[in-house]
Structure 1
């Protein structure tokens, strides 16, 4: 017996009925509305308890609400390394208000979704559903973020999921190199990995999770952000959140030190990442580094393209005939940043590729930058920023990041003006900071011809 075809393979004749009457005239009883929708402006307010509320009424039939928390891996201590990784995986466990089964079935019944993402600085819980069902889904979002129970037997069962998560990450050389880079670059805070270390797998306890939440899930470290939801509704929700009031435990400032970590293996390609300290997120210097990244090359702008306008690609191609890939690396945090070059090459040509990439940054530091390159880079920065706001995921992430860090929102026009204020001299200074700064290097692969950090 043949199986039933998928719904998306049915012909329209199977479900579309033909009408004989004309549909060119409007329905008699339906009158089109002439009322103009009010302008869409982001509203930001701060409650007396310190919680930041931000919302944008975009009149979408889909509503999205996110809880942004300063609870990334940088806030881990020596005794609880990996707790943020386990906390992310524990988002679907039983809470004080609902069991894990009830949360799963109820969210599915609403046709919605609950998700959690984490970075080195933040943890974001997001709920998406139809506008009419947002009230029901918000109850589960509150349970997941503020009413965790962390039952010991459920936490113990997470060990296998942690192992799988780590195994998947280890299959990506880029993730491994970036993790090693942060470990070498900083003495504390930002040196903490996004993933639970091997010696802590299965040893993060229910008590450690509760303690971490109590220290970091406080009103002073949280922002409640919504799209397609009324600001008054979010304020009411924020006022009812049962979380600790205040700034929570003291936050250690990241200390950049520089260094080198090398992972020798039998991979066919050498991944190498060399950086110096960059700009702090939101600063004018960070904008200059962002423009510099586009001048050097931040990856192809055309699907399956070859980045022919990239200075890195053009310069390295003159130094070697072997295949390679090179991009500029730029990461900004609340109190530090990293900027440098990421190269992928065959073991025999790794040294040539790395030195040629560094030479391109040195060339910009010496003023080797045309007006056309500078203008193109600024246009790319502005275009990529605006395109990132076209999706609800990108928009809520941008609003949430700004609300959490500054308790305000900078409109896109203001962001574009800030990019326009970057001058060629600012970009040259950023390049000089990389060239003259203390270097950090992370590399993996067959490193027989890969230079050490003090040799580049």
Structure 2
């Protein structure tokens, strides 16, 4: 349950050895990315020449859960769930009918840092669909009766949240307490409390031109500039963002489930950190599952748990979260046996003292490069990639530079990254059958 490979940041300073020999990076020519800062402070990022007949445009705001006040917990989740409701110019029926008639796909996603609105359509129909897309982004009304009618669907969405994501959410709470520790899910106590006025105020405060990134694949930067003009977003009055601080802790929630979901993390690095590529390699060295269907993973985590002779079934994967000003690194473990402490102890020992050899680093780098290159072939994943890079760094690195960053990672770089995690205070988020799960300080 880790972030996409393409969300893994690159080294801000690439060492010379990345280009010193005939490496993979020299044989790759990525899509040209256009980047432009508009007069209203909106950042525009476009990949117009990507070979696709589908045009994709995203409008992203720095308005994720980290910017929520304690009283408005979960409001970004509610805004996402309320996308597509009536605007000041069109009804919900009109938006759905016209976008459906054009064969367009309209979706909204949110995370700890952003809320992103995306439209996808055949290039011939994209321009016609932009009218309703732009209205849905900048002219939302959040009518009280529509929000009331939408409550049952929101409740249903909350019931469908996988337990492993709940564990990861609790791990963030344990690690940061606030900011990045704010839950990305709407708590039940705020479902009926947050109304139209709360949503309109949050949008007015955070949906501003200087907090917006407009990105696209198959559409040029000039078109995105016109989109920005039609959005007509105001500028924010002041910057109220607070830098995230890592604390470390233990947060768990017992549920009547047969499986324990345990997320254990230490302090990682931010997107722009010079060690970010080394952490990405370390993630694959610890293991992200098997590369062969029904096979056993090669990573340190799975191998160590297997050697501990646990009696229950388990699944484990390394996780690496990189945010704009901080990061988390660790693992997610699902275990359905009675001795979860035994499996947890083996995984924690792997995290604190991973087996780092030249062969293991080479394997991890190859798996990371394969994931990086295969994902970059998808236009939808490319859009996510350039958007994420623009959000946290204000620029986009070409694929050849991403590859060079991975190739330049040495075994010493990986050991340094592993040492940083080992010396960090660990945090645990537990969900499900956690009655017999030991606390980290007892391992």
Q: Which has the higher contact order (CA 8 A, sep 6+)?
A: 2
Q: Does 1:43 align with 2:34?
A: yes
Q: Does 1:243 align with 2:236?
A: no
Report the equivalent of 1:425: 412
TM-score, with structure 1 as normaliser: 0.86
Q: Does 1:285 align with 2:281?
A: no
Deviations 1:124-171 (A, max 9, x none): 1111111111111111111011111111221222222221111111xx
* C-alpha RMSD of matched pairs (Å): 1.7
Report the equivalent of 2:393: 406
Matches within 5 A, 1:87-106: 87-106=79-98
Matches within 5 A, 1:7-26: none
* Residue 435 of structure 1, CA deviation: 1.7
Taking a change above 3 Å as real, the CA distance of residues 362 and 85 of structure 1, as seen in their structure-2 partners, is closer
Matches within 5 A, 1:41-440: 41-57=32-48, 58-169=50-161, 172-246=162-236, 249-307=239-297, 309-322=298-311, 323-364=313-354, 368-440=355-427
* Residue 295 of structure 1, CA deviation: 0.6
SS in 2 for 1:274: strand
Taking a change above 3 Å as real, the CA distance of residues 237 and 325 of structure 1, as seen in their structure-2 partners, is closer
* Residue 263 of structure 1, CA deviation: 2.3
SS in 2 for 1:64: strand
Distance between the aligned counterparts of 1:67 and 1:388, measured in 2? Answer: 21
SS in 2 for 1:91: coil
Report the equivalent of 2:27: none
Taking a change above 3 Å as real, the CA distance of residues 136 and 248 of structure 1, as seen in their structure-2 partners, is farther
Taking a change above 3 Å as real, the CA distance of residues 199 and 449 of structure 1, as seen in their structure-2 partners, is closer
* Residue 218 of structure 1, CA deviation: 0.9
Distance between the aligned counterparts of 1:428 and 1:341, measured in 2? Answer: 17
Highest CA radius of gyration, 1 or 2? 1
Report the equivalent of 2:20: none
Counterpart contact for 1:112–1:130, Cα < 8 Å: yes
Counterpart contact for 2:357–2:411, Cα < 8 Å: no
* Residue 246 of structure 1, CA deviation: 4.2
Distance between the aligned counterparts of 1:282 and 1:247, measured in 2? Answer: 27
Distance between the aligned counterparts of 1:127 and 1:266, measured in 2? Answer: 39
TM-score, with structure 2 as normaliser: 0.89
Distance between the aligned counterparts of 1:217 and 1:321, measured in 2? Answer: 50
SS in 1 for 2:343: helix
Distance between the aligned counterparts of 1:91 and 1:237, measured in 2? Answer: 18
What is the number of equivalent residue pairs in this alignment?
412
Distance between the aligned counterparts of 1:395 and 1:266, measured in 2? Answer: 40
Distance between the aligned counterparts of 1:265 and 1:71, measured in 2? Answer: 31
Report the equivalent of 2:437: 450
Gaps of 5+ in 1: 1-38
* Residue 400 of structure 1, CA deviation: 1.2
SS in 2 for 1:124: strand
Distance between the aligned counterparts of 2:238 and 2:114, measured in 1? Answer: 15
* Residue 206 of structure 1, CA deviation: 0.8
Counterpart contact for 2:318–2:332, Cα < 8 Å: yes
* Residue 197 of structure 1, CA deviation: 0.9
Distance between the aligned counterparts of 1:444 and 1:229, measured in 2? Answer: 43
SS in 1 for 2:167: helix
SS in 1 for 2:157: helix
* Residue 319 of structure 1, CA deviation: 1.0
Gaps of 5+ in 2: 1-29
Distance between the aligned counterparts of 1:246 and 1:407, measured in 2? Answer: 18
Distance between the aligned counterparts of 1:223 and 1:193, measured in 2? Answer: 23
* Residue 115 of structure 1, CA deviation: 0.8
Deviations 1:392-444 (A, max 9, x none): 21010111112222222100001111112222122112212222211111223
Distance between the aligned counterparts of 2:422 and 2:60, measured in 1? Answer: 36
Distance between the aligned counterparts of 2:370 and 2:269, measured in 1? Answer: 21
SS in 2 for 1:306: coil
Taking a change above 3 Å as real, the CA distance of residues 59 and 391 of structure 1, as seen in their structure-2 partners, is closer
Counterpart contact for 1:46–1:407, Cα < 8 Å: no
Deviations 1:188-216 (A, max 9, x none): 11111111111101111111111111111
SS in 2 for 1:272: strand
